[in-house]
Structure 1
């Protein structure tokens, strides 16, 4: 018999009263403003000896998680809609953390601690890569160690999609590698319950020309990105290797991988082609709109050869309301059936995490709104929930503490 999520909460000792409208509004406000638990409350908690970061990789199966729009939904509300406590929840923050940034991350940690699982913390150095210094790296690592001591493991995804031209940290391979290694050293030394993730964007469309932060022709960055040495950065160059920080610095590898459609211009509601997800990860994609088979086998090179667990920290399928074409459920179901394929663990045995992008947002690529969500529209949410894979691993499978002060004194 399948137990309800409420039954599991009672069994795990985490049952909470139902939230009325006023309390729910306060919870949403907390998620948006980052109000944290008081120091007095925190001081009464048992001390956690964090589980080592290497134990965060599931022994079998794949973690399923979500990128939440924290200003619109609490983690508890999402878990209730899903019928499961997600193993991973993603939070984005500027780096270095300001006071408000820190309070927002503290609030996310509070919610993860209440629900279980781990936090995938995405750091965005919006003022440039030179903000990563010894001091800012140590300050972050000590904050992470504090979160780990409360029983919340953290994986840090630093400066994601660095191979794109749309972020201030983009297309600067030497500076990126230096910053990543500096941050990784601090985390590995001072926060052994946390891990690092290296996560470029899928290389289709490389070199992503025309973005505000495209490497300038003739610059040292452009020279470093010219992997085939022909004097220009083109689609023939490797979109990943120039940014690789080294196996000693990277604990997880990841890739942002979405279904945007089958050809440019984007914004049409189109059903994903069969096996697109695996084909893109392995450099075999030959879609309706073009042939990306010249791309490296990302899975084989970085998960296989480097021996790293692979994450898909962000994924979803484009649905633009009012744009015509295929309907929302048909598009999203076609994508989640690929990422929830019963054979996925066998086909990609190092794939260890997949997080759905649970946002509605304007996208400049299409000049309009996209509903990326799977658990918001009730009919789509019911279908998504009914097709969750047997290999999915949820929050209860994520190790938090190796031991606590309560256990030590028992």
Structure 2
């Protein structure tokens, strides 16, 4: 029998302590939750249960991160948004409020204008629109609109006004394309980027006419200049990181005597998100009734020959010179669902050359309200939504 000397007793005690650590303490720290405390999920195992390494790993694994849901598209499938444009824009919402009350429907888009000669980026204008639950759509116009206002105050004939305002050499398309306005464009690109929510830009609209200085038929512009200018502006925004822009290419619907082919004016699908159209039912110069389809169908058919991008009626309205305004509105909203590619319609709520407003009479307001009460127009916009850029989204 070996005698128990003091050194041997000390060695035996040390070994016992090491065995205790190996079988009792170490597993708790090795398979714990990372803080030296044994996992509750292991502690709750039934007595006698053998916990394998695989089972422990499954029990202690961090909860899986839920997949990020894709942003909701605007407008949702099968829906058509209703927008509004007023003379005062976001500087005064009185007309918007009256429109909303008459329509008994909150518009989801607001179109407003800014001319390059005087318009500087102002975040408050966009925030006021988005804060009211409407997507801001900027009609961005490379010209000095004060020349137009001065001509109107002098009560010149419409043709003379068109000729005066379309002749602005400083705003030739070639000057835009060569970079003369780049510092101005960049200030807007950086401002719109900072918004952090979607904005639509309808740049240089109705380019197939002859009444604006960016139309190719006037102001010393040449064939091909419009596309070059558009692409230059688009590319500058892209380079600046302003990718929250929905680009809206918006010609005028064909009118009597119009001959301009639209295809050469189209910048290309990689530069355009929505196609817009302007068109009005006016009886100011004629008593002939023209339906929505008579006004728009030929132009839509032509556009569909070179692009399938979603279509928005970016400006429309009706006058009541011979008392058929309510009829035109009723018929328009009756046939609109047939056009599956039209995702929005913006009403020109302005008393300008003629009174296009829905508040022009109680009968017109009632008809409009009844039309937009249909489920197709029941939708909302929020800053987190992603604008629909393809019809098959």
Q: Is 1:64 aligned to residue 82 of structure 2?
A: yes
**1:306, CA displacement in angstroms?**
1.6
Question: Is 2:235 the partner of 1:185?
Answer: yes
Deviation of 1:142 after TM superposition, in Å, equals 1.7
306, 327, 346: which one pairs with 1:334? Answer: 327
Per the alignment, residue 387 of structure 1 pairs with 371
Counterpart CA distance in 1 for 2:141 and 2:105 is 29
Aligned to 1:240: 262
- Match of residue 112 from structure 1: 129
Q: In the alignment, which residue of structure 2 is the partner of 1:360?
A: 351
> Secondary structure of 2:358's partner?
coil
Q: 1:306 to 1:200 in 2, by over 3 A?
A: same
Q: 2:115 aligns with which of 72, 94, 109?
A: 94
C-alpha distance in structure 2 between counterparts of 1:280 and 1:383, whole Å = 20
1:145 and 2:145 matched: no
CA contact (8 A) 2:280 2:318 kept: yes
Q: Distance in 1 between matches of 2:118 and 2:176?
A: 11
Question: Residue 202 of structure 1: which of 223, 238, 253 is its match?
Answer: 253
**Separation in 1 of the partners of 2:305 and 2:261?**
18
Deviation at 1:281, TM superposition (A): 2.6
Mapped partners of 2:130, 2:100: distance in 1? 14
Q: CA deviation at 1:272?
A: 2.8
Partners of 1:186 and 1:84 in 2: how far apart? Answer: 37
Residue 308 of structure 1 pairs with residue 313 of structure 2: no
Distance in 2, Cα, partners of 1:196 & 1:318? 29
Partner of 1:252: 274
Unaligned runs of 5+ in 2: 1-69, 144-169, 387-393
Alpha-carbon separation, structure 2, partners of 1:137 and 1:250: 18
Contact persistence 2:312–2:342 (CA under 8 A): yes
Residue in 1 that maps onto 2:13 = none
Rg: which structure is higher?
A: 2
Deviation at 1:303, TM superposition (A): 4.5
Aligned residues, how many? 277
Distance 1:186 1:158, change over 3 A: same
Normalised TM-score (structure 2): 0.63
Q: 1:401 aligns with which of 337, 360, 384?
A: 384
Per-residue deviation, residues 260-282 of structure 1 (Å, max 9, x unmatched): 23xxxx435x4734xx3223333
Match of 1:80 in 2: 101
Matches within 5 A, 1:129-168: 129=173, 130-131=175-176, 133=179, 134-147=182-195, 149=196, 151=197, 153-168=198-213
In structure 2, the CA distance between the partners of 1:303 and 1:142, relative to structure 1 (3 Å rule), is: farther
* CA–CA separation in structure 2 for the residues paired with 1:203 and 1:332: 21
Q: 2:138 aligns with which of 104, 107, 121?
A: 121
Match of 1:279 among 294, 300, 321: 294
Partner of 2:56: none
- Tell me: CA distance 1:256–1:146, structure 2 relative to 1, closer, same or farther (3 Å): same
Q: Tell me how far 1:165 sits from its aligned partner.
A: 0.8
- Tell me the TM-score normalized by structure 1: 0.61
Structure 2: distance between partners of 1:303 and 1:118: 26
Deviations 1:96-127, CA, capped at 9 Å, x for gaps: 6634xx34xx4432331221121111011115
Check 1:385–1:57 CA distance in 2 against 1; reply closer, same or farther (3 A cut). closer
